[in-house]
Amino acid sequence: MSTTLAIRGGRVIDPANGVDAIADVLIAEGRIAAVGPDAGRDASQTIDASGLIICPGFVDIHCHLREPGFEHKETIATGTLAAARGGFTTICAMPNTEPPIDSAGMIEFILRTAQSQGAVRVLPIACVTRGRAGRELADLAELAQAGAVAFSDDGAPVACRSSPHAPSARVRGHAGRARHQPLRRPLPLGRWSHARRLGLDPPWSSWRSHRG
């Protein structure tokens, strides 16, 4: 018989499923098997959650794992452990590392390291511009294909003339020279900037921003 774990008697708050009630959460084979009153009655292990709140894992859409380049501050292993301790099961890692996350190879490094050393799911956010220098757009299409879920030059403004509302991909022309070409379809990904810090008017101010 497989091991089952029940978190019993807590207040289950699950907005996606419209649940806000005192209930048990039954876990079998590492997955939620049932939620409801007495759902965990026959579980082989129980955790008493009376007086506590039980939620789905939180998602942090803006965090800094600092690896590579600043491992003395944080690593993917330590940052994801801290996330897990705080109830976060998915975190989005900002790209202001050294080197910055501006290539498919860097995206792959983050995903590979998170897979082998991380405690929670890590979704990489890639740079808007190459080297996070604010001048030349990174290859957004390639970064998205590699696994980037959003773009940001976190901590630095973007001076590139291309509109954030008409993203373009850096492609190779016939002569092998780099040029910018509008994407057929906008990338369905998020964007973060520090536009507010610069006091810029819309559309820039519609970008997500933070003070960190």
Residues that bind Zn ion (CB under 5 A): 94, 154, 212
CB of 23 vs Zn ion, minimal distance in Å: 36
Indicate the residue among 35 and 110 with the shorter CB distance to Zn ion: 110
Indicate the residue among 24 and 154 with the shorter CB distance to Zn ion: 154
CB of 94 vs Zn ion, minimal distance in Å: 5
For 179, other C-beta atoms within 10 Å of its C-beta total 11
Indicate the residue among 5 and 200 with the shorter CB distance to Zn ion: 200
Sign of the alpha-carbon torsion through 28, 31, 33, 37: positive
E-assigned strand segments in the chain: 4-14, 19-28, 31-36, 45-48, 53-54, 58-63, 88-93, 121-126, 150-152, 168-172, 178-182, 190-192
Altogether, the residues listed in the chain come to a count of 212
CB of 157 vs Zn ion, minimal distance in Å: 13
Indicate the residue among 15 and 212 with the shorter CB distance to Zn ion: 212
CB of 210 vs Zn ion, minimal distance in Å: 6
